[in-house]
């Protein structure tokens, strides 16, 4: 049986040779040397095994059922790169030659060809190296609807809690559990169903921490999706977003939940969470490469004036910027022990403060549009002083939705709620109805969902 | 049901533990032969429980059919206590007492007695009589005829009689059957009106749910009790709905007597939709009803016992507490009571208690049922997927550029940057080695891939941290750099140094400088070539940046069989211009190969340090004939002015009219051959040496010195010669004048 260290060396060589081939010509000594090493290592392994199957599951690399320890960012990038190119499996069989490897490495490094690599390998007659997809059972897409969404959300929060507690205990969070739930959330975000009303079902002590993890994940994935990011990349956003605050497991509770202004020492403790988070995540197997980066950077701000301080220059990546927006938004809107969540209008005012370096303004504008001005289900006060629930958004004018009027001008419940299209002018061309403001359902004791 | 002052939670726990292990040991004893490991283990557990109970002065307890009594106080009706009580009761035990240290044979004997046929034991006079025959004082047994008492009790409480109807009810609960038999329904109605009977029913439905070691399966037990309650409430709801409130109060009272962990499980459990539909009443309704019947003291007692058992408050407990206690004033009242109860326990007297209590109090008080996101915001998320979908066709150019930041190369760069930043920010000495190793491993990968720019960033970061003695990462970074130097990646990269582009080579040169002099032996392998190849040239340039620290690293290559390897190393040692090179060069002067010797001499001459000259001097002194001439020839071979200081040093430190005479003569010859004016004063000084004994040597010395000065030539030499002719000793004047005439 081949030792894991040999597999490790083989994959490491493969990764570095492909990387070298993207930097240098195929005849360059460093590429030649890498190819030679690959040939030697695979020959050695194939004396003991019939085939070598290298699989890429997320950022995890598995060789003949041996999971490799992740040693460095190179490997992470390697898996990620192959995944992006929909290569999940490389199979090497006995008889593979140095020339096969040379051609394979060069072909893999060549990103300009429109022909899929697997096809090119076949055309070239390379039989001892094959590419493929892994046969991973996809979980059943459980029934659509709010109940399913609630289940997914509830389960996500519980998973978030278990990940949190594992990290707090000094263990590595279980990425398998995280992946499962991110997949479910990604499906919710990707599918056209009303889904996240499930949030209403969550009632547990201080689950802000865990609901926040899930909410930021959902909000980040939604933003990513609005930028046409799909599949593994969407999930990577979900992962990174859900784990962005994991470093807070080491922050004292009294600092974490302190309603007042933090002292200098307390703020120093709070700031440490970005560093701790990066450490936890970079040691966690299967964690996408972006996750520790986002955990480290999500308080940096556009001009790097945030924290951590004393770090090297960088341009913030898209995922960090998106997570930053989702993080702040969810924190502001959430009810906490010491304060109620802020209304949407107030959050919008805070987040869009002029010249604030906190957010990328283009992304923020997009996020605000994404969240909708008066999204479906919002309880609103009309210009007629009636209270209504938004039932449909207008495709082009977010200020003029279709509403169902629930309370009359005196505040009494309508016997028969009526539908009103606020975009429709009357006979004189004036709008009879306009949405004035959102109304807190608790203030009027109405559950808008009951009227949906 | 009369209120009874309960045992302290701690004592109750201790008795429950003893009861559990006693029953488990009896079960093992009955199932397995005495030598079986399961028996040994259960006996050991029993002895441990006994020892623990003894330390808390629980050495004696009375037995009733339902519970064990400690100083007359019931130890609760929970599973193990009840089971142990029933088991002992069936064996006619009234009171069981243990000394503080019960020997193993006594425990075995007790279990043996208890496992015997009850009727046979009765025939021998009962368990106390039989035990008395053994005369074992470590365990004392009292016996009573409980049959009579039990009969009386059954007459007093016919509803609690464990008859066939009772067993049918228990079975219908545990097997989740509907009760449709009229007689059973009537009995259920009767049970619903008797708190004691409800308690008995709860115990009986829980009874099957124990694991093999006797520990209760809390979730199953709680579910069984809830199921039993639902039977009762359902039947009352259908047949005597006006009694519902009363029955709920009875359930609440009966529940208060259960094991707190079971209560917690019952109140904190989730609804089972299937059961809800079948029984006509939901578990949630049952829970609410039970909770409503709990007064402050009961809640405090439940809380105190649970906290004492678990040692902390859990989210589940907080939820249950919130369900029972509801509003904050009541919560505070209950917490005050709970604290009072706990203060008397050993748990309450521990040092950590106050700290734990603060966090428990905070958890229990701040729990609330409010959702953490307002309904409006929750709805705001609705349809977000659809909106996202609609927006993806319209992506502004500035965001397209931002999407590019997710490319593999950039993410790799970010990962590199992250590791470097983490290294610089690290303040945890324990974490430093792992982090430094990871950074070095990344450096290896980057070298293997030929990404020298990134590899340079990584190695520089390590080197910078290693150079800060005050940094917690300093030692770890040095070790990581050493590891990097030893890696295959570094060695292979060095082997390719000659084939690199000038840019890559420059970058690797910086990496080599950053990793430090430890890399010298690896780089020095490239010196093992006769020609001045680019690889050798580049390796030499890197090694030179290490200055004197590189010298020791060249030792291996100096032992090479190839003369050119030794020669190249010697040349490099000379170019280091460091005293550290001298001891390594010295042996080369004694070596056989004149090519190496010549370079070594030149190398020494290159080193501006007295040690270098002394090294040559030592060799000259030690050598003779051809070798010495070879050394001298090497010194003057290229008429390199840099050898002059060495020659002068030899001149000054030698005894020209003694044993060093010949060395001095040859050195003077060498000085003359090079012809450097700097040597004139030194030669002039030697020239004036006199000796009454060694007159012949003195004559030769003066003659050669004069010749040397003539070879050097120039105004200084001329002045020295003129001065010798004028002011020298008699012999010198004579020789100098003669030389002047000849010249």
| B145-B146-B151 Cα angle (round to 5) | 125
DSSP E strand boundaries for B272-395: none
What dihedral do alpha carbons B652, B656, B660, B666 form, nearest 10°?
80
Residue range A61-80: average pLDDT?
Answer: 67
Closest CA to B100 of B62, B127, B139: B139
Of A72, A76, A196, which has the smallest distance from its Cβ to B382's Cβ? A196
B421/chain A closest Cα distance in angstroms: 6
* Beta carbons within 10 angstroms of residue B333's beta carbon: 14
Q: Do B385 and A226 touch (CB under 8 A)?
A: no
Among B353-362, B507-516, B610-619, B665-674, the least confident range? B353-362
pLDDT at site A393: 72
Cβ of A141 under 8 Å from any chain B Cβ?
A: no
Which tens digits make up the pLDDT trace of A173-204? Answer: 777 777 777 877 777 666 543 344 334 333 33
Flag if A282 and B446 touch (Cβ within 8 Å).
no
**With contact defined as beta carbons under 8 Å apart, do B511 and B459 qualify?**
yes
Give the model confidence (pLDDT) of B267-286 as tens digits: 776 555 444 444 467 777 78
Which burial class, exposed, middle or buried, applies to B469 when counting CB atoms under 10 A from its CB (0-12, 13-18, 19+)?
Answer: exposed
Q: Which of A149-153, A293-297, B468-472 has the lowest mean pLDDT?
A: A149-153
Residue that wins the pLDDT comparison between B448 and B542 = B542
Which residues from chain A sit within 8 angstroms of residue B319, using beta carbons? 204-205
Share of chain A above pLDDT 90, in %: 17
What are the C-alpha distances in Å from B335 to residues B302, B304, B307, B319, B367?
A: 11, 9, 11, 15, 14
From chain A, the residues in CB contact with B507 under 8 A are: none
- Residue B445's pLDDT band, with cuts at 50, 70 and 90, is confident
Interface test with B, best of A23, A56, A74 (most B CBs within 10 A): A74
How far is Cα B577 from Cα B579, in angstroms, rounded to an integer? 7
Please choose, from the candidates A400, A353, A354, A351, the residue with its C-alpha nearest in 3D space to the C-alpha of residue A373.
Answer: A400
Structure tokens at A240: 């990174």
CA distance B497 to B484: 17
A81 interaction partners in chain B (CB closer than 8 Å): 408
Give contacts of A344 with chain B, Cβ < 8 Å: 376-377, 380
Q: Tokens 């289940």 correspond to what residue?
A: A151
Characterize A256-270 residue by residue with b for buried, 16 or more Cβ atoms within 10 angstroms of its Cβ, and e for exposed: bbeeeeeeeebeebb
3-class SS at B639? coil
Structure tokens at A375: 């999204």
Q: Looking at A135-144, A370-379, B18-27, B608-617, which range is the least confident one?
A: A135-144
- Measured distance CA(B115)–CA(B707) in Å, rounded: 123
Positive/negative CA dihedral, A397, A401, A402, A407: negative
Radius of gyration of chain A (CA): 26
Nearest to A317 among B315, B378, B410 (CB): B410
pLDDT of residue B2: 39
Q: What is the pLDDT of residue A398?
A: 59
For residue A71, pLDDT over 60 is answered with: no
Which range, of A328-337, A425-434, B147-156, averages the lowest pLDDT? B147-156
User: What confidence tier does B523 reach under pLDDT thresholds 50, 70, 90?
Assistant: very high
- Check residues A30 and B719 and name the one with the higher pLDDT: B719
Does residue B718 register a pLDDT over 90? Answer: yes
Q: Are strands A379-382 and A387-392 parallel, antiparallel or unpaired?
A: antiparallel
Task: Indicate whether A2 pLDDT > 70.
Answer: no
How far apart CA A227 and CA B399 sit, in angstroms, is 8
- Chain A closest-CA separation from residue B623 CA (Å): 49
User: Could B371 and A202 be called an inter-chain contact, meaning their C-beta atoms sit closer than 8 Å?
Assistant: yes
At residue B68, the 3 state secondary structure works out as strand
Structure confidence at residue B526 (pLDDT)? 96
Per-residue pLDDT averaged across B455-479, rounded? 94
Q: What is the DSSP string of B1-23?
A: ----PPPPHHHHHHHHHHHHHHH
Full 3-state SS string of B562-618: CHHHHHHHHHHHHHHCCHHHHHHHHHHHHCCCHHHHHHHHHHHHHCCCHHHHHHHHH
Q: Please give the helix or strand (H or E) that residue A131 lies within, else none.
A: strand A129-132
Q: Which of A66-75, B162-171, B540-549 is the least confident region?
A: A66-75
Taking the Cβ of residue A441 and every Cβ of chain B, the question of whether any pair is shorter than 8 Å is answered with yes
Whether a cis peptide bond, with omega within 30° of 0, leads into B729 is no
| Dist CA A375 CA A393 (whole Å) | 7
ipTM above 0.90, yes or no: no
CA distance B561 to chain A (A): 28
B-chain residue closest to A330, CA distance: B373
- The winner for highest mean pLDDT among A62-66, B117-121, B660-664 is B660-664
Straight-line distance from the first to the last Cα atom of chain A, in angstroms, rounded to the nearest whole number: 62
| Helix/strand/coil for A303 | coil
Contact A385, A373 (CB under 8 A): no
| 0.80 surpassed by pTM | no
Q: Which of A11, A40, A73, A75 to mutate to test the interface with B (most CBs of B within 10 A)?
A: A73
Q: Does A333 sit within 8 Å of B374, measured CB to CB?
A: yes
Q: Which of B365, B416, B447, B449 to mutate to test the interface with A (most CBs of A within 10 A)?
A: B449
Mean pLDDT of B96-100: 79
The answer to whether residue A139 scores a pLDDT higher than 50 is no
For B39-48, what is the mean pLDDT?
Answer: 79
Confidence of residue A205 (pLDDT cuts 50, 70, 90): very low
Contact A223 B388 (CB under 8 A): yes
Between CA B312 and CA B302 the distance in angstroms is: 14
Least confident segment among A155-164, B230-239, B709-718: A155-164
Burial class, B145, CB count within 10 angstroms (exposed 0-12 / middle 13-18 / buried 19+): exposed
- CB count within 10 Å of CB B203 equals 25
B425 to chain A: which residues are within 8 Å by CB? Answer: 275, 308, 310-311
- Predicted local confidence at residue A202, as pLDDT: 36
């Amino acid at each position: 049986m081949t030792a894991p260290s040999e597999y490790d060396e083989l994959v490491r060589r493969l990764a570095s040779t492909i990387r070298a081939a993207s930097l240098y010509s195929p005849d360059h000594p460093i590429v030649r040397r890498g190819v030679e090493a690959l040939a030697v290592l695979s020959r050695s392994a194939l004396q003991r095994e019939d085939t070598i199957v290298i699989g890429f599951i997320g950022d995890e690399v598995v060789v003949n059922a041996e999971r490799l320890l992740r040693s460095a960012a190179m490997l992470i990038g390697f898996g990620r790169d192959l995944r992006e190119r929909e290569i999940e499996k490389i199979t090497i069989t006995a008889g593979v030659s140095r020339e096969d490897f040379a051609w394979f490495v060069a072909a893999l490094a060549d990103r300009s060809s429109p022909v899929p690599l697997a096809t090119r390998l076949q055309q070239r007659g390379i039989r001892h190296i094959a590419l493929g997809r892994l046969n991973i059972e996809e979980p059943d897409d459980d029934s659509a609807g709010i109940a399913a969404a609630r289940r997914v959300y509830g389960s996500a929060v519980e998973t978030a809690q278990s990940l949190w507690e594992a990290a707090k205990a000094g263990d590595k969070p279980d990425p398998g559990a995280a992946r499962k739930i991110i997949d479910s959330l990604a499906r919710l975000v990707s599918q056209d169903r009303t889904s996240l009303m499930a949030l209403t079902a969550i009632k547990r002590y201080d689950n802000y921490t865990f609901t926040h993890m899930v909410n930021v994940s959902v909000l980040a994935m939604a933003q990513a999706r609005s930028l046409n990011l799909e599949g593994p990349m969407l999930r990577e956003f979900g992962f990174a977003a859900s784990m962005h605050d994991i470093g807070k497991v080491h922050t004292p509770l009294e600092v974490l939940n302190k309603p007042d202004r933090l002292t200098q020492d307390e703020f120093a403790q709070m700031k440490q969470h970005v560093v701790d988070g990066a450490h936890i995540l970079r040691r966690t197997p299967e964690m996408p490469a972006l996750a520790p980066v986002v955990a480290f950077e999500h308080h940096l701000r556009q001009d790097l004036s945030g924290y951590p301080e004393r770090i090297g220059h960088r341009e913030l990546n898209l995922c960090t910027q998106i997570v930053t927006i989702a993080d702040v938004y969810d924190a502001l809107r959430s009810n906490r022990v010491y304060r109620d969540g802020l209304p949407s209008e107030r959050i919008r005012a805070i987040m869009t403060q002029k010249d604030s370096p906190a957010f990328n303004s283009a992304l923020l504008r997009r996020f605000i549009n994404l969240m909708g001005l008066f999204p479906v289900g919002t309880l609103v006060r009309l210009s007629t002083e009636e209270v209504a629930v938004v039932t449909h958004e207008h495709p082009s004018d977010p200020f003029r939705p279709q509403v169902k009027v629930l309370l009359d001008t005196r505040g009494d419940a309508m016997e028969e709620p009526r539908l009103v299209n606020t975009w429709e002018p009357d006979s004189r061309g004036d709008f009879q109805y306009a949405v004035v403001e959102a109304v807190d359902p608790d203030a009027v004791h109405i559950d808008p969902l009951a009227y949906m | 049901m009369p209120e009874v002052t309960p045992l302290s939670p701690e004592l109750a726990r201790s008795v429950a533990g003893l009861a559990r292990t006693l029953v488990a040991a009896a079960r093992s004893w009955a199932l397995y032969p005495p030598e079986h490991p399961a028996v040994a283990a259960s006996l050991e557990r029993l002895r441990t429980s006994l020892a623990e109970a003894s330390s808390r002065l629980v050495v004696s307890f009375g037995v009733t059919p339902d519970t064990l009594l400690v100083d007359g106080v019931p130890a609760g009706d929970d599973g193990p206590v009840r089971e142990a009580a029933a088991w002992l009761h069936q064996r006619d035990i009234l009171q069981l007492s243990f000394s503080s240290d019960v020997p193993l044979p006594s425990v075995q004997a007790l279990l043996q007695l208890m496992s015997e046929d009850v009727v046979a034991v009765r025939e021998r006079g009962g368990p106390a009589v039989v035990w008395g025959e053994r005369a074992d004082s470590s365990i004392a047994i009292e016996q009573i005829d409980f049959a009579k008492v039990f009969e009386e009790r059954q007459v007093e409480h016919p509803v609690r009689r464990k008859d066939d109807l009772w067993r049918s009810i228990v079975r219908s609960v545990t097997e989740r059957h509907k009760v449709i038999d009229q007689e059973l329904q009537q009995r259920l109605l009767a049970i619903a009106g008797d708190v004691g009977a409800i308690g008995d029913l709860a115990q009986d439905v829980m009874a099957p749910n124990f694991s093999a070691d006797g520990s209760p399966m809390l979730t199953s037990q709680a579910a069984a009790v809830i199921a039993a309650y639902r039977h009762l409430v359902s039947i009352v709801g259908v047949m005597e709905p006006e009694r519902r409130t009363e029955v709920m109060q009875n359930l609440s009272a009966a529940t208060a007597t259960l094991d707190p962990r079971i209560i917690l499980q019952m109140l904190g459990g989730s609804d089972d939709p299937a059961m809800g539909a079948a029984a006509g009443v939901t578990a949630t309704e049952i829970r609410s009803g039970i909770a409503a019947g709990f007064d402050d003291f009961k809640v405090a007692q439940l809380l105190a016992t649970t906290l004492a058992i678990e040692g902390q408050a859990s989210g589940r407990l907080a939820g249950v507490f919130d369900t029972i206690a509801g509003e904050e004033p009541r919560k505070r009242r209950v917490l005050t009571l709970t604290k009072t109860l706990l203060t008397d326990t050993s748990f309450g007297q521990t040092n950590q208690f106050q700290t734990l209590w603060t966090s428990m109090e905070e958890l229990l008080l701040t729990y609330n049922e409010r959702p953490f996101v307002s309904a409006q915001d929750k709805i705001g998320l609705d349809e977000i997927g659809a909106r996202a979908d609609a927006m993806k066709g319209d992506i502004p150019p500035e965001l397209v550029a931002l999407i590019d930041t997710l490319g593999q190369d950039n993410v790799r760069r970010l990962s590199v940057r992250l590791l470097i930043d983490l290294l610089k920010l690290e303040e945890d000495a324990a974490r430093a080695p792992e982090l430094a190793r990871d950074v070095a491993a990344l450096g290896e990968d980057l070298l293997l891939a030929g990404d020298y720019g990134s590899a340079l960033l990584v190695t520089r970061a390590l080197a910078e941290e290693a150079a800060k003695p005050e940094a917690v990462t300093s030692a770890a970074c040095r070790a990581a750099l050493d590891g990097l130097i030893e890696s295959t990646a570094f060695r292979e990269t060095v082997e390719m140094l000659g084939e690199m582009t000038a840019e890559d080579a420059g970058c690797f040169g910086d990496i080599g400088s950053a990793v430090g002099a430890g890399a010298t032996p690896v780089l020095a392998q490239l010196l093992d070539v006769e020609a001045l190849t680019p690889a050798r040239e580049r390796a030499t340039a890197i090694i030179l940046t290490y200055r004197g620290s590189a010298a020791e690293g060249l030792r291996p290559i100096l032992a090479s069989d190839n003369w050119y390897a030794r020669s190249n190393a010697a040349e490099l040692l000379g170019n280091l211009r460091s005293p550290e090179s001298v001891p390594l060069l010295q042996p080369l002067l004694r070596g056989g190969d004149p090519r190496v010797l010549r370079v070594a001499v030149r190398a020494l001459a290159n080193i501006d340090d007295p040690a270098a000259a002394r090294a040559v001097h030592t060799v000259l002194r030690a050598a003779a004939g051809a070798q010495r001439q070879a050394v001298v020839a090497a010194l003057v071979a290229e008429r390199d002015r840099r050898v002059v200081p060495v020659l002068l040093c030899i001149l000054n430190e030698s005894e020209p009219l003694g044993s060093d005479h010949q060395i001095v003569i040859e050195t003077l010859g060498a000085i003359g051959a090079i012809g450097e004016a700097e040597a004139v004063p030194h030669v002039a000084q030697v020239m004036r040496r006199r000796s009454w004994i060694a007159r012949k040597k003195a004559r030769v010395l003066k003659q050669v010195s004069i010749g040397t000065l003539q070879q050097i030539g120039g105004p200084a030499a001329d002045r020295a010669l003129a001065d010798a002719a004028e002011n020298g000793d008699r012999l010198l004047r004579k020789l100098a004048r003669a030389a002047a005439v000849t010249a």
